[in-house]
Amino acid sequence: MLCLGRPRLFIAACAALLTAGCASPYYTDRGAAFGGLTGAGVGALVGEAVRHPVAGALVGAGVGAVSGAAVGNGLDQIEARNRAAIAATMGRPMPPGAVGVNDVIAMSQAGVNEEVTINHIRYNGVQAPPQTGDLITLQRANVSPRVIAALQQPPAQPMAGVAMPPPPMMMGPPPPWGYPGYYYPPPPPPFGYGYGMAFR
C-alpha cells in the first residue's frame, strides 16, 4: 500500500481536480485550471523566499483558480449572449458543436447579425473547411462575404517558439595594459659562415 503524507495527498488531489478542468468545454473550468496551476507555481516561488513553499503554493493555487475562473466566466457569458441572440433571431437554439454550412445559411436567412455569426464561428469552429460547392451554395444564399471569409479561416494554431539569433556581443574598450595574449620570445641573432680574402 502506498502511503502518502497529508500534504502530498492534498497536492495530488488538487492536481487531479485541476487537470479535469482542462478537458472541459467551458472557459470557466479552463481558466480555473490554468489560474490554479500558474498560481501554485508562483506561490511556491514566493513561498520559497519566506521558507514556506507549500503554504505559498496553496495560497497561489487558490487565488489563481478564483481569478482564472472569473476571467473564464466572463468569456462564457459572452458566448451565452451570442447564443441567446442567435436563438432569438432564428426562433430556435443553435445546437452545440462546430458550425456547418447549413447552420451559417440558416443564420443568414434568419437575419442574425453578421458579427454575431462570425463570433459564433470563431468560438465553436467549423465542421469542415468549405469546398467549392459549399462556397457556391453560400454565395447563392446571400451569405455575407465576411461570414464566408470567417468560415475559410484556418483554426488558430498555438504559438510556437520563434528561433531568434543571439544578441550581438558587445566589446568594451581595451584595458590600458593591452589585451592578454601569448608573447613570443625574440628571434635568435643571425648566424652565418663566410670566408674572405684580404689583399695587401
Res. 21: pLDDT tops 60: no
Higher pLDDT, 28 or 5: 28
Residue range 135-185, pLDDT digits in tens: 999 999 999 999 999 988 876 655 555 667 777 777 777 777 766 676 778
Predicted local distance difference test score (pLDDT) of residue 133: 92
Burial of 5 from C-beta contacts in 10 A (0-12 / 13-18 / 19+) = exposed
Q: How far apart are CA 38 and CA 43, in angstroms?
A: 8
Is the pTM of the predicted complex or chain greater than 0.75?
no
